[in-house]
Amino acid sequence: MFYLQGDIDEDAVFNQIAQDSGEVIINWKGVTSINSCGVRNWVNFIKTMSDRTIYYIECPPLVVKQMNMIPSFLGTATVYSVYVPYVCDNCDTEKLVLVTAEKFGSVEETIQCDKCQSPEMELDGHPKHYFTFGRAK
């Protein structure tokens, strides 16, 4: 498994991932930002891995955004899990909930806030749009 960390930008290198054989699992949890050069770097890299079995796990919202807007960011990978962002309408608390692939189509739009107990902690975004990447393949 490979843990990506920090900013994905013009200086990001992914060669180490290619050197490993077999299935590749990419954990995106530690990624803090992606700019357009980073997207291009990643798309170019993932293209060279098209004959490999790749899984994306723990994708934070900023990675999900890229997968939704730029389908080639996903390449031939399968998304195993993503973080879904929720915001409490009552106290503005934000929370990320990890959701695995079997629940992508049935994610809860509202959950209870851990901080103020309000039942109105809502999914930050449109549930249909958030999982657009699932229809990309």
Instruction: Give the residues lining the site for other proteins (CB under 8 A).
Output: 10, 33-37, 39-40, 43-44, 46-47, 50, 61-62, 65, 68-72, 75, 85, 87, 92, 94, 122, 124-126, 129, 132, 136
CA-CA distance, 82 to 103, in Å (whole number)? 10
Contacts of 30 (CB under 8 A, 6+ apart): 3, 4, 5, 6
- Taking the complex as a whole, the smallest distance from the CB of residue 121 to other proteins amounts, in Å, to 11
The pair of structure tokens assigned to 53 is 């079995």
CB of 20 to other proteins, least distance (A): 21
Judged by CB, which is closer to other proteins: 62, or 98?
A: 62
What 8-state DSSP symbol labels residue 112?
-
User: Least distance to other proteins from the beta carbon of 15, Å?
Assistant: 17
Q: Closer to other proteins at the Cβ: 98 or 125?
A: 125
Q: Which of 39, 38, 84 is nearest to 59 (CA)?
A: 84
